[in-house]
């Protein structure tokens, strides 16, 4: 067991590759496990994250959990961009944070703090593990200036508006964006870039000077003038500072594959005096799409996680929705789809709740008697399962996750285990617990009640519902069906549906 190598799709080579750590450690020695160093492009904190953006962090979290499962000592970095990200992908437009601060007439630092906090709350609600580092871009400006000074002579040129990177000075610029041809790539840059004086359309600002006569809330002195770092520079610098080049894996949304990441790569090549990209594997999750168009920003219903919660959905239903699709596939969002994901999660939780509390105690004992702590979780789980149906299921689960994080298959394996008959319940629980360290659905602590629909605009409290249901139960015992039906109608008028007889249903449902 655990001979199955972890294979990941590398956007740079456009194929699956076996993960080979840059820092292999000493195999078999506790405390000296091989490392996995992962950098994930984080949010620009000028607004609440859209659930489509959050998909990128669920994906990065599943990657990190899988690396831990396979026995690697994970160091994960997710940055917070609080300066330098323009409203346009090009080098024009305003800084997203400066613009929002001006609109709201607030300090840019307050804006950044507020939306960083909101982002962290979403991260927590989605059960995404804390990375080792959350670097904030403005804390790294001196290092960014040093990095830029290092590459300026050979790779950059100055214009009035700032310091620009000459993309012709590095090998194979834009290789990552090979989905489109070099010419198309150039014309795409030409379309969005009109900065005068640039040598090539793809050249980009690594330092932007504050235009004469203007004042920015965030600006720093530099050898090129007073201004702010470019967004691409920030990620190169924080990655280098915290993980060192080369590190193992760089992740981000697929929207970063055409411009942001090729630009990071160009800077890394310049900094390292090498053709290497700075990370061994580049991974990108696909988009969340919403085809009906009903939920676009223009309809006023901005799809942030809190909206899902306000409509009554548990946030982990969205995590389930993400796991149901492979990260490289588009994921279509609809309320019906979210409802189906919630039901799927609920079915699992009900099965697990049905296992005896005594078995949960046995599970704890099992954890204590686990074999050698230096074994990867995957191998440990297989060792105690010791073959049999559970052991085979763990191997299939491991194979699915090792196959470029195939969560849709892994989920079905977990569901099979939850439905197994004639298997010792404690063993079942232990297997589910092990698999859930990778999927992160919190299956052992969620309850049926916690997954109940809880719309924010409900006109009746849960306590009132429970009281009415108790009265109804009493009426039914007394065979007073008129009273019982009256209570049902009373509740229905307040949006409560009573669900008798559905083994996987709730006793009632709101909304």
Three-state DSSP state, 509? strand
| Partners of residue 163 on adjacent β-strands | 158, 207
Cβ atoms within 10 Å of 195's Cβ, excluding its own = 17
Compute the distance between CA of residue 233 and CA of residue 137 in angstroms, rounded to an integer.
Answer: 10
Indicate the length of the chain as a whole number: 511
Residue 83 interacting with Zn ion (CB under 5 A): no
What is the closest distance, in whole angstroms, from the C-beta atom of residue 179 to Zn ion in the complex?
19
DSSP string, 209-224: EPPTT---SS-B--TT
Q: Quick check: 97 and 85 in contact, CB under 8 A? A: yes
Among 37-45, 65-73, 333-341, 379-387, the segment contacting Zn ion (CB under 5 A):
37-45
Tell me the number of residues near Zn ion by CB under 5 A: 2
Min CB(279)–Zn ion separation in Å: 11
The span of 11-19, 35-43, 308-316, 473-481 binding Zn ion (CB under 5 A) equals 35-43
Q: Is 382 in the site for Zn ion (CB under 5 A)?
A: no
Tell me the longest C-alpha to C-alpha distance in the chain. Answer: 90
Write the interaction track for Zn ion spanning residues 186-225; mark x where CB under 5 A is met and - where it is not.
----------------------------------------
Q: Does 38 bind Zn ion (CB under 5 A)?
A: no
CA distance 344 to 422: 23
CB contact at 8 A, 364 and 395: no
> Which among 279, 307, 142 has a CA at the least distance from the CA of 222?
142
Specify the DSSP element, H or E, that contains 510: strand 508-510
Q: Is 385 in the site for Zn ion (CB under 5 A)?
A: no
Listed ranges 219-227, 233-241, 330-338, 481-489: which one lies at the site for Zn ion (CB under 5 A)? 233-241
Pick between residue 235 and residue 487 the one whose CB is nearest to Zn ion.
Answer: 235
| 74 in contact with Zn ion (CB under 5 A) | no
Q: Residue 41 interacts with Zn ion (CB under 5 A)? A: yes
Q: Which is nearer to Zn ion, 235 or 432 (CB)?
A: 235
Min dist. Cβ of residue 70 to Zn ion (A) = 25
Distance CA 229, CA 374 (A): 43
Least separation in angstroms between CB 235 and Zn ion: 3
Alpha-carbon distances of 339 from 87, 270, 444, 484, rounded to whole Å: 34, 49, 21, 29
Distance CA(227)–CA(206), nearest Å, equals: 11
Q: Provide the minimum distance between the beta carbon of 260 and Zn ion in the complex, in angstroms, as a whole number.
A: 6
Residue 279 interacts with Zn ion (CB under 5 A): yes or no:
no
Is 67 or 137 the residue whose CB approaches Zn ion more closely?
137
Binds Zn ion by CB under 5 A, chosen from 141, 152, 235, 435: 235
Within residues 426-465, the interface with Zn ion by CB under 5 A covers none
Distance CA 440, CA 201 (A): 43
The interface region with Zn ion, picked from 196-204, 232-240, 341-349, 389-397 by CB under 5 A, is 232-240
Closest CB 281 distance from Zn ion, rounded Å: 15
Nearest distance from residue 306's CB to Zn ion, in Å?
A: 25
243 near Zn ion, rule: CB under 5 A: no
Q: Which is nearer to Zn ion, 47 or 79 (CB)?
A: 79
DSSP for 350-406?
HHHHTS-HHHHHHHHHHHHT-S-TTS-HHHHHHHHHTSHHHHHHHHHHHHHHHBT--
Rounded to the nearest whole angstrom, what is the least distance from the CB of residue 268 to Zn ion in the complex?
12
Site residues for Zn ion, window 112-171 (CB under 5 A)? none
Binding site for Zn ion (CB under 5 A): 41, 235
């Amino acid at each position: 067991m655990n001979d199955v190598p972890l294979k990941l799709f590398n956007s740079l080579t456009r194929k699956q590759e076996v993960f080979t750590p840059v820092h292999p450690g000493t195999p078999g020695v506790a405390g000296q496990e091989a490392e996995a160093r992962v950098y994930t492009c984080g949010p620009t904190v000028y607004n609440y994250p859209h659930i489509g953006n959050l998909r990128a962090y669920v994906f990065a979290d599943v990657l990190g959990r899988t690396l831990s499962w396979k026995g690697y000592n994970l160091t994960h970095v997710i940055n917070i961009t609080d300066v330098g990200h323009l409203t346009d992908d090009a080098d024009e437009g305003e800084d997203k944070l400066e613009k929002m601060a001006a609109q709201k007439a607030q300090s840019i630092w307050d804006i950044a703090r507020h939306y960083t906090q909101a982002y962290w709350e979403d991260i927590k609600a989605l059960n995404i593990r804390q990375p080792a580092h959350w670097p904030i871009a403005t804390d790294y400006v001196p290092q960014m200036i040093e990095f830029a000074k290092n590459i300026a002579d050979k790779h950059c040129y100055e214009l009035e508006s700032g310091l620009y990177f000459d993309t012709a000075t590095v090998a194979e610029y834009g290789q990552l964006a090979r989905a489109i041809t070099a010419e198309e790539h150039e014309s795409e840059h030409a379309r969005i870039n009109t900065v005068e004086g640039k040598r090539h359309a793809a050249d980009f600002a690594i330092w932007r000077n504050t235009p004469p006569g203007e004042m920015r809330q965030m600006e720093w002195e530099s050898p090129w003038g007073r201004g702010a770092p470019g967004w691409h520079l920030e990620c190169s610098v924080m990655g280098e500072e915290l993980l060192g080049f080369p590190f193992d894996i760089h992740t981000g949304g697929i929207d970063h594959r055409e411009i942001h990441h090729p630009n990071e790569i160009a800077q890394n090549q310049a900094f390292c005096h090498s053709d290497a990209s700075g990370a061994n594997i580049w991974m990108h999750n696909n988009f969340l799409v919403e085809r009906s168009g009903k939920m676009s920003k223009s309809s006023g219903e901005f799809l942030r996680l809190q909206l899902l919660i306000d409509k009554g959905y548990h946030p982990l239903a969205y995590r389930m929705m993400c796991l149901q699709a492979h990260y490289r596939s588009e994921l279509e969002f609809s309320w019906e789809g979210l409802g189906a994901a919630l039901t799927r999660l609920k079915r699992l939780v009900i099965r697990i709740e049905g296992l005896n509390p005594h078995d949960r105690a046995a599970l704890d004992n099992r954890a204590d008697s686990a074999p050698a702590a230096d074994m990867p979780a995957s191998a440990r789980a297989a060792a105690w399962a010791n073959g049999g149906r559970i052991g085979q299921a763990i191997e299939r689960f491991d194979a699915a996750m090792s196959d470029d994080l195939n969560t849709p298959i892994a989920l079905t394996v977990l569901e099979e285990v939850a439905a197994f008959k004639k298997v010792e319940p404690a063993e079942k629980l232990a297997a589910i617990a092990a698999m859930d360290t990778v999927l992160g659905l919190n299956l052992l602590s969620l309850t049926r009640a916690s997954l109940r629909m809880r719309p924010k605009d409900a006109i009746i409290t849960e306590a009132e519902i429970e009281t009415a249901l108790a009265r109804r139960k009493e009426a039914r015992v007394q065979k007073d069906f008129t009273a019982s039906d009256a209570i049902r109608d009373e509740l229905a008028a307040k949006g409560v549906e009573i669900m008798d007889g559905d083994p996987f249903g709730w006793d009632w449902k709101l909304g």
